[in-house]
Structure 1
Amino acid sequence: MPLDAPTYADIFSDATTLGLSAEHIDVWQRKRLATICHYAQANSSFYSKHLRNLNDTVFASREAFATLPRTTAEEIRETPFAFLCTSQDDIARVVTLTTSGSTGKPKRIFFTQDEIDETIAFYNHGMQCLAESGDTVLALLPAPRPDSVGALLRDGLTQLGATPVLNQDPDDVAQSLSLLKAHAADCVVGTAAHVLALVKLWEHAGNKDTSVKTVLLCWDASSQPVREYIAKAWNCRVHTHWGMTETGLGGAVNCAHGSGMHLRESKMYVEITDPETGAVLPDGERGEMVVTTLTRRGMPLIRYRTGDEAQILTEPCPCGSPLRRLSPYIRRIRQPKNTPDWFKDMPPSAIDGALLSIPNFLAQQARYRVSPNRLEITIDACGTASQLLPACTELLRNFVSPLRNAPEILCLPGKNSEKISIGFAKRIISVE
Structure 2
Amino acid sequence: MKYWNETFETMPQEQLKELQLVRLKQTVDRVYANVPFYRKKFQEMNVGPENIQSLDDIRRLPFTEKDDLRNNYPYGLLAEPLSQIARVHVSSGTTGKPVCDGYTHNDLSMWAECVARGLAGIGADAHSVIHDAYGYGLFTGGLGIHGGAERMGASIIPMSSGNTQRQIMLMQDFKATVLTCTPSYAEYLGESMRDEGVDTSALPLKAGVFGAEPWSENMRKNIESLLNIKAYDIYGMCEICGPGVAIECPEQDGLHFWEDFFYFEIIDPETGDVLPDGETGELVITTLTKEGMPLIRYRTRDLTCIIPEPCKCGRTHRRIARLKGRTDDMMVIRGVNVFPSQIEHALLETGYVEPQYQLVVTREGSRDQLEIKVELKEDFNLDSINALEELKAKIEHEVHSIIGIKSKITLVEPKSLERFEGKAKRVKDLRKI
Could you state the TM-score of these two structures normalised by the residue count of structure 1? 0.73
Whole-angstrom distance in 2 between the partners of 1:260 and 1:93: 30
- The one-character-per-residue Cα deviations of 1:338-382 (angstroms, maximum 9, x if unpaired) are 99xxxxxx997xx54xx6xxxxx34232346488xxxxxxxxxxx
Of 57, 63, 66, 2:59 maps to 66
The residue number in structure 2 matching 1:253 is 247
1:166 to 158, 174, 181: 158
* Offset of residue 332 of structure 1: 2.1
Alpha-carbon distance, 1:124 to partner: 2.3
Note the alpha carbon deviations across 1:306-337, whole angstroms, 9 max, x for none: 11112111332111221010112342210169
Question: What residue is the counterpart of 1:29 in the other structure?
Answer: 20
Deviations, residues 273-304 of structure 1 (Å, cap 9, x unaligned): 11122221111111111111101122110011
In 1, Cα distance between the equivalents of 2:67 and 2:153?
41
Contact 2:91 2:237 in 1 (8 A): no
Q: CA deviation at 1:84?
A: 1.9
**Alignment-derived partner of residue 366 in structure 1:** 370
Residue by residue, what CA displacement relative to the aligned partner does 1:91-142 show, whole Å, maximum 9, x if unpaired?
A: 1122233634x2x222231111211122222222221123122221111123
Match of 2:320 among 312, 326, 337: 326
What is the rounded CA distance, in whole Å, between the counterparts of 1:58 and 1:34 in structure 2? 6
Q: Which deviates more, 50-59 or 121-130?
A: 50-59
The equivalent residue for 1:39 is 30
Contact 1:239 1:258 in 2 (8 A): yes
Indicate the larger mover: 296-305 or 147-156.
147-156
2:90, 2:140 within 8 Å by CA — same for their partners in 1?
Answer: no
CA distance in 2, matches of 1:129, 1:45: 39
Q: Which residue of 1 aligns with 2:347?
A: none
Unaligned ranges ≥5, structure 1: 9-16, 340-345, 356-360, 372-404, 411-426
Taking the aligned partners of 1:37 and 1:347, their CA distance within structure 2 comes to 43
Please say if residues 265 and 285 of structure 2, whose CA atoms lie closer than 8 Å, have aligned partners that are also in contact: yes
SS in 2 for 1:83: coil
Match among 134, 139, 142 for residue 141 of structure 1: 134
**Other structure's SS at 1:317 match:** coil
1:303 maps to a residue whose letter is: R
Matched letter for residue 159 of structure 1 = R
**2:285–2:299 contact (8 Å) kept in structure 1:** yes
1:200 aligned to 2:176? no
8 Å CA contact retained: 1:67, 1:279: no
User: Offset of 1:195 from its aligned partner?
Assistant: 0.6
- Are the counterparts in 2 of residues 33 and 59 from structure 1 also a CA contact under 8 Å? no
Distance in structure 1 (CA, Å) of the matches to 2:312 and 2:429: 43
Q: Structure 1 stretch 91-100 or stretch 259-268: which is displaced more? A: 91-100
Residue 271 of structure 2: which of 261, 267, 277 is its match? 277
From 292, 295, 298, the equivalent of 1:298 is: 292
Does the Cα contact within 8 Å between 2:47 and 2:60 map onto a contact in 1?
Answer: no
- Any unmatched runs of 5+ in structure 2? 331-338, 342-358, 376-424
1:165-206 superposed Cα distances (whole Å, 9 cap, x missing partner): 2322x2322222112222222111111111111011111112
- Give the match's secondary structure for 2:239: helix
- Quote the offset at 1:36 in angstroms: 1.0
Q: Is the 8 A contact 1:66 1:278 kept in 2?
A: no
- Whether the aligned pair in 2 keeps the contact of 1:274 and 1:281 (CA below 8 Å) is yes
2:99–2:239 CA contact under 8 A, matched in 1:
no
C-alpha contact (below 8 Å) 2:119/2:149 kept by paired residues: yes
Report the CA distance shift for 1:6/1:275 in structure 2 as closer, same or farther (over 3 A). farther
Q: Which residue of 1 aligns with 2:215?
A: 222
1:126 aligns with 2:127: no
Give the aligned length: 350
Change (3 A) 1:155 1:59: same
Question: Quick check: 2:279–2:306 contact (8 Å CA) kept in 1?
Answer: yes
CA shift digits 1:360-416 (9 cap, x unpaired)? x34232346488xxxxxxxxxxxxxxxxxxxxxxxxxxxxxxxxx9x9999xxxxxx
**Aligned counterparts of 1:41 and 1:408: Cα–Cα separation in 2:** 43
Q: What is the RMSD of the two structures over their aligned residues, measured on CA atoms? A: 3.2
For 1:157 and 1:295, the matched residues in 2 are separated by: 21
CA distance in 2 between partners of 1:312 and 1:408 (Å)? 29
- Residues 71-91 of structure 1 show CA distances to partners (whole Å, capped at 9, x for unaligned) of 111111112433222222111
Give the residue type in structure 2 aligned to 1:167.
M
Quick one: which of 298, 302, 307 aligns to 1:308?
Answer: 302
Partner of 1:239: 232
Q: Distance in 2 between matches of 1:309 and 1:370?
A: 30
Letter matched to residue 120 of structure 2:
Q
Given that 1:4 and 1:323 are in contact with CA atoms closer than 8 Å, whether structure 2 keeps it comes out as no
Q: How do 1:394-405 and structure 2 match up within 5 A?
A: none
Q: SS where residue 171 of structure 2 aligns?
A: helix
Deviations 1:215-271 (A, max 9, x none): 111222222111111112333211111011111122011112212111011111111
Query: Which residue of the partner structure matches residue 48 of structure 1?
Result: 39
Cα 1:165–1:6 change in 2 (3 A) is farther
Cα pair 1:271 1:291 within 8 Å, conserved: yes
- For normalisation by structure 2, the TM-score amounts to 0.73
Asked if the contact 1:7–1:264 (Cα under 8 Å) also holds between the matched residues in 2, the reply is no
CA contact (8 A) 1:31 1:59 kept: no
